[in-house]
Each structure stands twice: as structure tokens, then as C-alpha cells.
């Protein structure tokens, strides 16, 4: 859970700090498990189909408690005006979406001090207006998050697999480095042996050439 949460937070911080018309956009699903007493980011990203088209958006969040059938309007964001609309979330919701532009593509909100009563279904809705050359186009996009509140964080399978793969990769790299070192050592040793053999051969050749040609000849 921690690994996925960090990744999602990094993405949301990136999109909230940089004007959306100047960057790419990637839709990432929200995490769905919160820990009681801690904070939690309700993620919601809706990318425009064409980045070059200017637009604006209003984001609404609705909530349906577990075991109930009715959604209540809890939050709305309209350019630089975040508004908490339900008393159960008063002082606990904080806008973590796109800032500094009306062209909102990240509509995430952060819940402070999560309680078990926050368990339920959340719907994030983008009311987007695209300003086309000849007309305006109005688009409504909704995303749903099923939130579960637990006492202790459970490590998600993806995080466990990622950690295992990290250790496997480290072990493989270490073995590869050892193999490379052994190969290099053997290659250098072989080259040194060949070099020494050549030196010995050259020394022997010079010794033969330097002998007196009269050696071994006796006059009768």
C-alpha cells in the first residue's frame, strides 16, 4: 500500500504544480484502503482527449455511506474556490487537485483523520467545458472509489511483488558483477601469460644472436 500511495501522491503533486496545458496527463486509479486515524488521498484524474483544446472544469465529490442508498454532496471545487458541503467532513477535506488554472484534470481531495464512518462509495464528477473554435462542448465524467477503512495498513500484493523483484534484481546484478570480474581476471591473466611468453621468446632470441660465431670452433 505504501509504495502505491507514494506513487499516486507523486503524480498528484506533479499535476497540481504544473499547468495542465503544458504537460501530459495519465489517469491513475485511486487507492481504496485507508487506515483509521490517518490521512488518505481520494484520487481522481480525468485527462482531456486533446491537450491543445482550452477548457475549464468544476469538480464535485459525492459520498454514500456503507449500508445506505443515498449519495450526499460533500465537496465542490471551482477555480480557486474549494468548498466543503457536508458537516461530517467539515475541516477534514482538503483540495489536492490542479491549482492555478481553470483547466482542471486532477480532482483529488485529501481526507484528514479518517474514521470508520468514512467507509463507503465516493464519486468524483468532472463538469468540463471545452472551448472549441466554433462552439463549446460540455462533458461530464464520473469516477467511483470504493473506500474501506481498516485498523492497520495491509501491504498490497503489487507492493510485495515489487519488493521481491527488487531483491531478485539486486541478487542477479551482484552475480553478474562477480561473473564479469572472474571473466576479466581470467582474460587479464591469460594476456599476461602470453606477454611473458613473448618476452621470454624475445630474450632467448637475443641471447642466441649475441653469441660469438667462433664459439665451439677449434683449430687443429
Tens of pLDDT, residues 4-58: 444 444 444 444 444 434 446 889 889 999 999 999 999 999 999 888 899 999 9
User: Higher confidence at residue 71 or residue 171?
Assistant: 71
User: Higher confidence at residue 211 or residue 204?
Assistant: 204
pLDDT band at 1 (very low <50, low <70, confident <90, very high): very low
CA–CA distance, 31 with 14 (Å, rounded to integer): 17
CA–CA distance, 73 with 61 (Å, rounded to integer): 6
Q: 122 and 48, same structural domain?
A: yes
pLDDT value, residue 152:
86
pLDDT value, residue 171:
87
pLDDT band at 208 (very low <50, low <70, confident <90, very high): low
Domain containing residue 81: CATH number: 2.60.40.10
User: Higher confidence at residue 188 or residue 153?
Assistant: 188
Q: 202 and 164, same structural domain?
A: yes
pLDDT band at 123 (very low <50, low <70, confident <90, very high): very high
* Nearest Cα to Cα of residue 44 among 54, 58, 56, 64: 58
In a domain, 11, yes or no: yes
Q: 194 and 98, same structural domain?
A: no
Q: Above 90 in pLDDT, residue 158?
A: no
**Which three three-digit cell numbers place residue 212?**
660469438
Q: 13 and 95, same structural domain?
A: yes
In a domain, 214, yes or no: no
| Average pLDDT rounded to a whole number, residues 161-182 | 86
User: Higher confidence at residue 125 or residue 12?
Assistant: 125
φ, ψ for residue 78 (rounded to 5)?
-130, 125
pLDDT value, residue 216:
52
In a domain, 50, yes or no: yes
Domain region containing 130: 2-154
CA distances from 29 to 33, 44, 211 (A): 12, 7, 88
In a domain, 47, yes or no: yes
Q: 191 and 137, same structural domain?
A: no
Which of these three, 138, 154, 170, is where a domain ends? Answer: 154
In a domain, 215, yes or no: no
Q: 103 and 35, same structural domain?
A: yes
Q: 180 and 134, same structural domain?
A: no
The structural domain count of the chain equals 2
Amino acid at each position: 500500500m505504501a509504495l502505491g500511495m507514494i506513487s499516486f501522491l507523486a503524480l498528484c503533486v506533479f499535476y497540481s504544480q504544473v499547468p495542465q496545458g503544458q504537460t501530459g496527463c495519465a489517469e491513475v486509479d485511486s487507492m481504496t484502503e485507508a487506515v483509521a486515524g490517518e490521512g488518505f488521498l481520494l484520487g481522481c484524474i480525468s485527462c482531456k482527449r486533446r491537450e491543445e483544446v482550452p477548457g475549464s472544469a468544476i469538480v464535485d465529490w459525492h459520498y454514500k455511506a456503507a449500508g445506505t442508498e443515498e449519495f450526499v454532496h460533500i465537496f465542490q471545487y471551482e477555480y480557486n474556490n474549494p468548498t466543503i458541503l457536508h458537516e461530517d467532513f467539515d475541516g477534514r477535506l482538503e483540495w489536492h487537485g490542479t491549482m492555478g488554472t481553470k483547466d482542471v484534470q486532477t480532482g483529488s481531495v485529501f481526507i484528514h483523520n479518517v474514521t470508520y464512518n468514512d467507509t463507503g462509495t465516493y464519486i468524483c464528477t468532472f463538469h468540463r467545458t471545452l472551448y472549441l473554435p466554433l462552439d463549446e462542448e460540455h462533458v461530464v465524467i464520473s469516477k467511483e472509489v470504493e473506500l474501506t477503512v481498516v485498523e492497520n495498513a495491509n501491504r498490497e500484493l503489487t507492493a510485495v511483488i515489487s519488493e521481491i523483484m527488487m531483491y531478485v534484481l539486486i541478487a542477479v546484478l551482484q552475480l553478474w558483477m562477480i561473473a564479469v570480474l572472474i571473466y576479466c581476471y581470467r582474460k587479464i591473466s591469460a594476456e599476461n601469460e602470453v606477454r611473458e611468453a613473448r618476452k621470454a621468446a624475445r630474450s632467448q632470441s637475443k641471447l642466441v644472436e649475441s653469441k660469438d660465431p667462433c664459439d665451439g670452433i677449434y683449430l687443429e
